[in-house]
């Protein structure tokens, strides 16, 4: 019994001696790893603030600036942690952590494909800045004024007053119209006049009439082009530029154009003919209404 106890005591003593020896041997590395960790995190945190100021000079989107600086901050923190583990000669732990991070990243990528696509699209939109808050845009069937641009979706207010949230992927992958970029917008107004009217006179009267529009652009003159011989009229298009790209200005300019052209044509005996329809009676057609009655 005493022999067994002594043997167990010797084994435990040797094990404790080994642990103490190993602890003493690793103590300098442990101290160095702690210094690397503390000093590294302090430096990285200071660098993050500097990075935010530098990035904000090139990227005007606040959310994107925070995102980029946070990603760089996490990468630098990871480098500091892995460096500390390397000093402790925990290479196997480092490899395990990297492998685990890779597997988790891959799994998340498959699980959140749409979210990732919207996020990446939001990053590109923030960098390219094809539109900003307050501008009038159209993307596919969505048409309205931009309220706010997030990294995953863009919020617009349509012209019925509803708030619409559009995934950034849909905006990035489809044609986008920004009506506010040029600072002006064109109306193509189609009109018809009778075959008996003088076309030179029609052109002169119409162009003079639309020059009275209150929201007319001062940079581009209205233009008139005849399109075709219609069924009951000669049709033309008058191209009118307004001084703003927003929808209320467009509605106002279009309404004024219609009223001014109608008034000018009435004053100058220019007629806008009604559509003419010929009604045929009888099985074979060509019968008069009186004969059918």
Q: What tens digit of pLDDT does each residue of 223-273 get?
A: 999 999 988 899 999 999 999 988 999 999 999 999 999 999 999 999 888
Q: What is the pLDDT of residue 268?
A: 93
pTM, two decimal places: 0.62
Q: What is the pLDDT of residue 157?
A: 93
**Tokens describing residue 155:** 């919020």
Instruction: Go through 43-79 and write b for each residue having 16 or more CB atoms within 10 A of its CB, e for each that does not.
Output: ebeeebeebbeebbeebebebbbebbbeebbeebbee
Q: Is the pLDDT of residue 67 over 70?
A: no
Could you give the domains of the chain? 2-111 (1.10.287), 130-178 (2.30.30.60), 185-267 (3.30.70.100)
Q: Is the pLDDT of residue 170 over 70?
A: yes
Q: What tens digit of pLDDT does each residue of 91-126 get?
A: 666 666 666 666 666 665 565 567 778 878 887 887
Name which of 118, 143, 139, 140 is nearest 130 in CA terms: 139
Helix, strand, coil percent values for the chain (each to nearest 5): 55, 20, 25
**Tokens describing residue 57:** 């000079």
Q: What tens digit of pLDDT does each residue of 184-204 get?
A: 999 999 999 999 899 999 999
Mean pLDDT of the residues in the chain: 80
277 in the Ramachandran plot: left (φ > 0), alpha (ψ -120 to 50) or beta?
A: beta
111 in the Ramachandran plot: left (φ > 0), alpha (ψ -120 to 50) or beta?
A: alpha
Q: What is the pLDDT of residue 104?
A: 66
Would the CA dihedral through 196, 201, 202, 205 be positive or negative? negative
Q: What is the pLDDT of residue 32?
A: 76
Q: Is the pLDDT of residue 1 over 60?
A: no
Q: What is the pLDDT of residue 39?
A: 85
Q: Is the pLDDT of residue 35 over 70?
A: yes
Q: What tens digit of pLDDT does each residue of 118-159 get?
A: 878 887 887 788 888 889 999 888 989 999 888 788 999 998
Q: What is the pLDDT of residue 230?
A: 87
Pairing of strands 136-139, 142-149: antiparallel
Q: Who's near 259: CB < 8 A, 6+ residues apart? A: none
Q: Is the pLDDT of residue 27 over 80?
A: no
Q: What is the pLDDT of residue 31?
A: 77
Q: What is the pLDDT of residue 182?
A: 87
Distance CA 251, CA 271 (A): 25
Across 62-76, 159-173, 175-189, least confident range: 62-76
């Amino acid at each position: 019994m005493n022999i067994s106890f002594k043997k167990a005591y010797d084994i435990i003593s040797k094990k404790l001696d080994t642990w103490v020896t190993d602890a003493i041997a690793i103590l300098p590395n442990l101290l160095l790893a702690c210094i690397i960790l503390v000093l590294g995190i302090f430096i990285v945190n200071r660098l993050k603030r500097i990075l935010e100021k530098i990035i904000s000079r090139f990227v005007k989107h606040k959310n994107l600036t925070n995102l980029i600086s946070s990603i760089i901050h996490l990468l630098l923190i990871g480098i500091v942690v892995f460096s500390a583990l390397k000093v402790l000669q925990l290479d196997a732990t480092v490899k395990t952590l990297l492998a685990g991070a890779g597997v988790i990243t891959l799994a998340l990528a498959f699980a959140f494909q749409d979210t990732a696509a919207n996020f990446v699209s939001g990053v590109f939109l923030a960098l390219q800045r094809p539109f900003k808050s307050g501008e009038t845009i159209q993307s596919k069937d969505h048409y309205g004024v931009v309220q706010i641009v997030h990294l995953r979706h863009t919020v617009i207010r349509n012209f019925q007053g509803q708030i619409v949230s559009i995934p950034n992927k849909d905006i990035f992958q489809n044609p986008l119209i920004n009506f506010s970029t040029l600072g002006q917008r064109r109306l193509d107004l189609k009109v018809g006049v009778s075959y008996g009217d003088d076309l030179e006179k029609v052109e002169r009267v119409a162009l003079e009439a639309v020059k009275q529009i209150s929201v007319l652009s001062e940079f581009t003159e209205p233009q008139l082009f005849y399109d075709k011989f219609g069924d009951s009229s000669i049709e033309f298009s008058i191209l009118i530029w307004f001084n703003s790209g927003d929808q209320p200005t467009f509605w106002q300019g279009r309404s004024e154009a219609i009223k001014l052209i109608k008034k000018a044509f009435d004053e100058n005996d220019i007629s806008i003919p009604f559509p003419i329809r010929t009604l045929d009676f009888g099985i074979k057609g060509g019968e008069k209404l009186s004969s059918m009655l």
